Amino acid sequence: MNGPVVEVRLWADGGDRLPAIGDVLRAPREGAEPLLLEVVTHVALDRLRAIGLGDTRGLAVGAPLEITHAPLCVPVGAGVKGRVLDMLGRPLDGGPPVEGPTRPVLRPTKTTLERRPATEIFETGLKVIDLLSPLPRGGNAGLFGGAGVGKTVLMMELIHNTVQHHDGVSVFAGIGERSREARELWLEMQQSGVLDDVVLILGQMGETPGVRFRTGLSAITVAEYFRDDVGQDVLLFIDNVFRFVQAGNEVSGTLGRPPSRIGYQPTLAAEVAQLEERISSTDKGTLTSVQAVYVPADDITDPAVAEIFNHLDSFLVLSREAAAEGLYPAVDPLRSSSSLLVSEFVGERHASVAARVRATLAKYEELRDIIALMGIDELSPDDRRAVVRARRLRRFLTQPFFVTEQFTGTAGVHVALVDTLSGCEAILSGAHDDLPEQAFYMGGRLDDLLAVARRDTEAAA
């Protein structure tokens, strides 16, 4: 034994068939459920290595194992809705065991002919996302950011805004995240009354790498059941995909594989593809995913982050500078984008407004160093107008969250896409250049912000 890796020797009476990769071995334990181990490699005709899906402490050299000749499975069906489970389908919410059919966790991906491309917007009610990086219905979206920039809070806000307006099933996979955050999410869903149509599958930070490595695939298996067997639209939330990569790296290291770039496992691309390519939509139903991705040391070129980028239709890059300025959600509007942001999918008006907003914000970024050195008065009139409007646009694209209402005391807002477009068009036209920047900060529709500004002006007078 080496941490989670267990080497197994097969005796002559152990059966005439070598267990296949992905098959499960069962290790009996006194006073506890048997420990499951997943076969990951064959060493010789009579030896193999397996990863423990749980704590391997207590196993002894020479202890007998049971060969099941069956793959790792997870329960699916109506019984998993409203439940908090681990990656093996065991309850974590204190409820009864889940009854129902099971499905193998390792399943083939859909073929190209079976897939349906993402061509519709999944509206979130968050202005900066719907305008500049619209999420695709039936596609993959990623939230990229370093530590402490608000990935999990933004994920919880997206869950709050979308699950309540979603007719299908939602599946949440917690991979290597804090147990405190999982409990907060569970309580939030109970209070909002959406838990009955949500499945939470957790492999938290304290779990072994084998559990964290398979939690994402277990959640996808449950999502595939509702998509293929029930024909429902499914929302899949994963927090955090980088922890999946990290768990795979731990497993790879204990298996003795030589590291690749910057110490990552040599199988990085294959493992990310195995997870991401399972997330697809078919004619039976859509599978829309939103995935949080931790960016180590804020390096967006990190090999693991770059590999995940390749599989996404929409990506939101969270900025530490925006978070420091209090511009929440702290989305970097110039580095975030979506494959849907073309007129064929979002319409001429949306594509045009998004392009003008991005150009105005890019102009402001170019001029920031000049403003810091010489002041805004040294700019040309056209540049001054661009700066004024860019700063108002950036503040208009902030908004308070429902999930942070208890901490900030400010009620959350849900803004329709048409209201976001109208507000941006009005600011770009210069109709509100006379208003102070603060009037556009942390609000909803532009009409509501203007009404508050008028009331404040009248009160001051």
Active-site positions?
151, 177-178
Residue 235 CA to residue 19 CA, distance in Å, equals 35
Question: ω before 34 within 30° of 0 (cis)?
Answer: no
3-state secondary structure of 415: coil
CA distances from 306 to 97, 271, 272, 303, 439 (A): 39, 14, 11, 5, 38
Three-state SS at 270:
helix
Contact 102, 74 (CB under 8 A): yes
- Cβ neighbour number for residue 92 with a 10 Å cutoff: 17
Q: How far apart are CA 416 and CA 154, in angstroms?
A: 18
Q: Work out whether the CA dihedral 120, 240, 37, 267 comes out positive or negative.
A: positive
Look at the block and give the residue holding tokens 């397996």.
Answer: 50
According to DSSP, the residues that pair with 102 across neighbouring strands are 75
Residue among 186, 184, 191 at smallest CA distance from 201: 186
**Which residue type occupies 269?**
A
Angle between helices 268-276 and 209-228 (to 10 degrees): 30
Which residues, at least 6 apart from 429, have a Cβ–Cβ distance to it below 8 Å?
none
Measured CA to CA, the distance from residue 215 to residue 380 in angstroms comes to: 56
DSSP code, position 363: H
